């Protein structure tokens, strides 16, 4: 392994969003060790990064001594968000899923080579006790930090996915912003942000070659249309945005992500007016309302074309893993800012 490269310790690695973000930033960084406890996510990660030392472990088993032997320069991590989510119990630091993060804070003062940290989490983390503990640990270790709440829409990507981010670096303060504020935009001094080349509408992110058989797999059922057609977030190929896709997408209809009008030759409002008038679900069928495919969601989240799921990964699991993942373009842009 090239010793001159920036060495990344990737924690809570999921399906590899942080790894892809580091690759996209193209700043001479390499993931030298990756850890996650989720077996399904690990299978996808190893399928796409077979050369990376990826281990299925509880992060609490990582000692300072073991980490120091790896000589990482950067920690990139996306700790469990369930203790802070809007729909969760909000147990915060009392949630057992915070124990591995708290362990990291105990280990942090003893890490000899770590000079940078990039962390992602759900909106809500910024008001948590866990965040207070994190900030205290960073300050005690002479890190400067900046916080953000950002969406891919800020990079002209047609998907809403607000997430909390924290950048920290040792001994050298940032030239923008303040530790007293959470930024809602990228720093104006950032002129090399990583963004999609596909365009600002949904169409370039969509599967172009869906067969009729494949399309049938994603069409909304009559049951879903009948019960939820009035609250579905329906987007067209020409739309400039889409709602955040969650891990419950396709399992629950409300608030888990947008659906697509596959047949753009029909006018949605006319067909919906006909349905309202006649009450016949058949009026909506010509629209071919369907779920976004996992590949389309991966495209919107910045995963490259070569990203793929193992054939053994079920459709439900693919949606769940993507819903727990992050936007590669946003993280890659922040990664470059961190190293400036």
pLDDT tens track for 157-209: 999 999 999 999 998 999 999 999 999 999 987 778 999 989 999 999 999 98
| pLDDT score of 171 | 84
Could you identify the residue written with the tokens 């300072």? 64
- Name the token pair of 128: 């948590």
Tell me, yes or no, whether 252 and 145 share the same domain: no
Looking from the CA of 300 toward its CB, the CA atoms found within 13 Å total 29
> Quick one: which H or E segment has residue 7?
strand 6-11
Instruction: For residue 25, tell me if it sits in a domain.
Output: yes
For the domain that residue 232 is a member of, what is the CATH number? 3.90.120.10
| pLDDT score of 130 | 87
Tell me, yes or no, whether 18 and 148 share the same domain: yes
Tell me, yes or no, whether 278 and 146 share the same domain: no
Tell me, yes or no, whether 161 and 71 share the same domain: yes
For the domain that residue 10 is a member of, what is the CATH number? 3.40.50.150
Q: How far is CA 312 from CA 13, 245, 267, 308, 317, in A?
A: 20, 22, 38, 11, 10
Per-residue pLDDT, averaged over 324-333, amounts to 96
Tell me, yes or no, whether 251 and 275 share the same domain: yes
pLDDT digits (tens, 9 = 90+) for 256-282: 999 999 999 999 999 999 999 988 999
- Sheet containing 289-291, strands listed edge to edge, beginning at the edge strand earlier in sequence: 234-235, 259-261, 289-291
What total of structural domains would you count in the chain? 2
Tell me, yes or no, whether 188 and 217 share the same domain: no
Instruction: For residue 319, tell me if it sits in a domain.
Output: no
| pLDDT score of 33 | 97
Measuring CA to CA, which residue among 324, 321, 330, 322 is closest to residue 118? 330
Tell me, yes or no, whether 178 and 102 share the same domain: yes
Torsion-angle region of residue 149: left (phi > 0), alpha (psi -120 to 50) or beta? beta
Tell me, yes or no, whether 250 and 108 share the same domain: no
Tell me, yes or no, whether 126 and 78 share the same domain: yes
Burial class (CB in 10 A: 0-12, 13-18, 19+), 157: buried
pTM: 0.93
| Beta-carbon contacts of residue 16 (< 8 Å; ≥ 6 apart) | 34, 44, 45, 48, 49, 307
Instruction: For residue 192, tell me if it sits in a domain.
Output: yes
| pLDDT score of 272 | 92
Instruction: For residue 123, tell me if it sits in a domain.
Output: yes
117 and 143 Cβ atoms separated by less than 8 Å:
yes
* CA 36, chain centre distance (Å): 15
| Beta-carbon contacts of residue 174 (< 8 Å; ≥ 6 apart) | 144, 146, 167
> Greater confidence, 5 or 24?
24
- Cα separation, 212 vs 214, in Å, equals 5
Q: How far is CA 154 from CA 8, 151, 262, 334, 336, in A?
A: 26, 6, 26, 12, 16
97 and 73 Cβ atoms separated by less than 8 Å:
no
Instruction: For residue 105, tell me if it sits in a domain.
Output: yes
The chain-wide mean pLDDT, for the chain, equals 92
According to DSSP H, which parts of the chain are helical?
Answer: 17-25, 39-48, 64-70, 99-107, 129-140, 212-218, 222-228, 268-278, 294-300, 315-323, 328-339
Catalytic residues: 81
Please tell me whether residue 58 adopts helix, strand or coil conformation: coil
Instruction: For residue 308, tell me if it sits in a domain.
Output: no
Looking from the CA of 276 toward its CB, the CA atoms found within 13 Å total 8
Tell me, yes or no, whether 158 and 214 share the same domain: no
Q: What percent of the chain has pLDDT over 90?
A: 84
pLDDT digits (tens, 9 = 90+) for 26-79: 999 999 999 999 999 999 999 999 999 999 999 999 999 999 999 999 999 998
Instruction: For residue 312, tell me if it sits in a domain.
Output: no
| Beta-carbon contacts of residue 126 (< 8 Å; ≥ 6 apart) | 147, 149, 164, 182
- Sheet containing 182-183, strands listed edge to edge, beginning at the edge strand earlier in sequence: 54-56, 29-36, 6-11, 74-77, 116-122, 163-170, 143-150, 182-183
Tell me, yes or no, whether 144 and 10 share the same domain: yes
Q: What percent of the chain has pLDDT over 70?
A: 94
Instruction: For residue 297, tell me if it sits in a domain.
Output: no
| Host domain of residue 269 | 208-292
Tell me, yes or no, whether 259 and 158 share the same domain: no
């Amino acid at each position: 392994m090239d010793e001159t490269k920036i060495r990344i310790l990737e924690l809570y690695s999921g399906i590899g969003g942080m790894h892809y973000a580091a690759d996209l930033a193209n700043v001479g960084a390499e993931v030298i060790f990756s850890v996650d406890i989720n077996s399904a996510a690990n299978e996808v990660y190893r399928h796409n990064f077979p050369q990376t030392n990826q281990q299925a472990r509880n992060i609490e088993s990582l000692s300072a001594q073991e980490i120091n032997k790896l000589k990482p320069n950067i920690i990139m991590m996306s700790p469990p968000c369930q203790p802070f989510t809007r729909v969760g119990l909000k147990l915060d630091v009392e949630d057992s899923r915070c124990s591995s993060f708290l362990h990291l804070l105990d280990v942090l003062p003893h890490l000899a080579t770590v000079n940078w940290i990039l962390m992602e989490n759900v909106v809500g983390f910024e008001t948590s006790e866990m965040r207070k503990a994190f900030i205290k640990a960073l300050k005690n270790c002479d890190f400067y930090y900046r916080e953000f709440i950002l969406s891919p829409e800020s990079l002209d990507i047609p998907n809403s996915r607000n997430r909390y981010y924290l950048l920290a670096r040792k001994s050298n303060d940032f030239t923008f912003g303040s530790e007293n504020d959470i930024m809602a935009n990228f720093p104006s001094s950032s002129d090399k942000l990583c963004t999609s080349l596909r365009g600002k509408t949904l169409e370039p992110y969509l599967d172009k070659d869906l067969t009729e058989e494949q399309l049938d797999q994603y069409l909304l059922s009559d049951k879903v249309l009948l019960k939820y057609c009035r609250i579905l977030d329906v987007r067209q190929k020409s739309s400039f945005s889409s709602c955040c896709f969650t891990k419950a997408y396709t399992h629950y209809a409300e608030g888990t992500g947008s659906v697509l009008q596959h047949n753009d030759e029909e006018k949605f409002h006319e067909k919906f007016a006909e349905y309202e008038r006649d009450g016949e679900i058949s009026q909506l069928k010509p629209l071919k309302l369907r779920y976004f495919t996992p590949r389309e969601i991966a495209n919107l989240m910045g995963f490259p074309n070569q990203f793929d799921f193992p054939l053994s990964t079920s459709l439900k699991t693919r949606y769940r893993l993507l819903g727990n993942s992050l936007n590669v373009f946003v993280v890659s842009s922040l990664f470059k800012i961190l190293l400036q």
